[in-house]
Amino acid sequence: MWNVESMGKIVDDMIYRSTTTISPDVRALMEKAFAEETNDTAKSMLQAMLENERMAGEKVKPVCQSPGFPTVYVSFGDKSLPGCDLKKVWAEALVRGTNRQLLRPSMVHPLTRENPGDNSGVGVPNFEIDYVPDQEYLDMLVSFKGCGAELANAMQIFTVAKLEKGNDYAGLKRWVLDAVIKGGGKPCPPAAIGIGLGGQMDVACKLARKAVSVRRWDDVNPDPLYGRLEKELYEAANSLGIGPAGTGGKTTLLAVKIEGASTHTAIAPAAITFHCWTARRAGVRMYPDGRVETTL
């Protein structure tokens, strides 16, 4: 089991990894996009991004000046309890990361905009905790998601008619592409989108954030319908011509991730969360015998 010190070290390392590099799945997708891009401006933009990411790792500097907003996804079972106050450990580690200039002090009061200067604050980081009784390990993943991307997010309570179910959900697809178009260069494309379906408004929004934060961007959705929609929307979005930085090209999205939950028969909630190309995230799997594996 872990205590404040041993857990603190693991968390410090997660913050270090997730701020000075992007996750390996996303780096590989960026390299593939660079190889396949045909627009000159887009190609040089992708090259600059890859070069910047490499320099950040070498110089031990943040990939991006904005650390975005941190959410920590945690799951554990009866035999893999954290054994210490995880929220406290993370809150303190964020302050340490700020003092090491890995994180810019960006957290402010929602109305007064007062900035304590160290990324401390109510609800920072956000935690999404899942209790899975039989799970024999503790999974922990941090996602620092940039907030320019948040300006492109969308949420709508659809209905059967508005989904255009009879036309292979054309209503939903048009709405998704419309959000990508309105987003333009704002979410730092090449971006990824998480689409949350079902529940009520809160559920759809959390699923959207989780889909794009927790899943590998190169995975395939095991659900055949969601998998088919992910592929179609990915290809459709990349035919819009928005491109890296929003200045043209065929690389607009690196991934589309859909997660669903059941909903009420009267409604079809849908939410879209945008994620910039700087996928600053890190994950670990921790076993009760002390083993720690890197999952992302």
Q: How far is the CB of 148 from other proteins (least distance, A)?
A: 3
The DSSP symbol for 15 reads H
Half-sphere exposure of 170 (CA within 13 A, CB side): 3
Q: Does 49 bind other proteins (CB under 8 A)?
A: yes
Q: Does 193 bind other proteins (CB under 8 A)?
A: no
Nearest residue to 181 via CA among 262, 274, 72: 274
From 243, 260, 269, 283, residue interacting with other proteins (rule: CB under 8 A): 243
| Dihedral pair phi/psi, residue 276, rounded to 5° | -70, 175
Reading the block at residue 257, the tokens are 């991730």
Helix (H) or strand (E) holding 205: helix 201-214
| Dihedral pair phi/psi, residue 240, rounded to 5° | -85, -20
Q: Residue 1: which residues within 8 A CB-CB, separation 6 or more?
A: 81, 83, 288
From 77, 83, 121, 184, residue interacting with other proteins (rule: CB under 8 A): 184
From 247, 267, 288, 292, residue interacting with other proteins (rule: CB under 8 A): 247
From 55, 129, 132, 220, residue interacting with other proteins (rule: CB under 8 A): 55
Nearer to other proteins among residue 11 and residue 103 (C-beta): 103
Q: How far apart (Å, rounded) are the C-alpha atoms in residues 133 and 254?
A: 35
Name the amino acid, one letter, at 267: I
Whether the Cβ atoms of residue 157 and residue 201 lie closer than 8 Å to each other:
yes
Nearer to other proteins among residue 171 and residue 196 (C-beta): 171
From 86, 145, 278, 282, residue interacting with other proteins (rule: CB under 8 A): 278
Q: How far is the CB of 208 from other proteins (least distance, A)?
A: 19
Which of 3-11, 122-130, 172-180, 201-209 is the region at the interface with other proteins (rule: CB under 8 A)?
A: 172-180
From 6, 52, 156, 295, residue interacting with other proteins (rule: CB under 8 A): 52
Q: Residue 16: which residues within 8 A CB-CB, separation 6 or more?
A: 97, 102
Nearer to other proteins among residue 56 and residue 203 (C-beta): 56
Name the amino acid, one letter, at 55: M
Q: How far is the CB of 114 from other proteins (least distance, A)?
A: 8
Whether the Cβ atoms of residue 108 and residue 26 lie closer than 8 Å to each other:
no
Q: How far apart (Å, rounded) are the C-alpha atoms in residues 80 and 292?
A: 12
From 77, 83, 105, 288, residue interacting with other proteins (rule: CB under 8 A): 105
Nearer to other proteins among residue 24 and residue 241 (C-beta): 241
> Facing residues of 280 across strands?
144
Q: How far is the CB of 286 from other proteins (least distance, A)?
A: 30
Write out the residues near other proteins by the rule CB under 8 A.
41, 44-45, 48-49, 51-52, 55-56, 59, 61-66, 101, 103-106, 108, 113, 115, 117, 146-148, 151, 167, 170, 173-174, 177-178, 180-182, 184-189, 236, 239-243, 245-248, 276-278
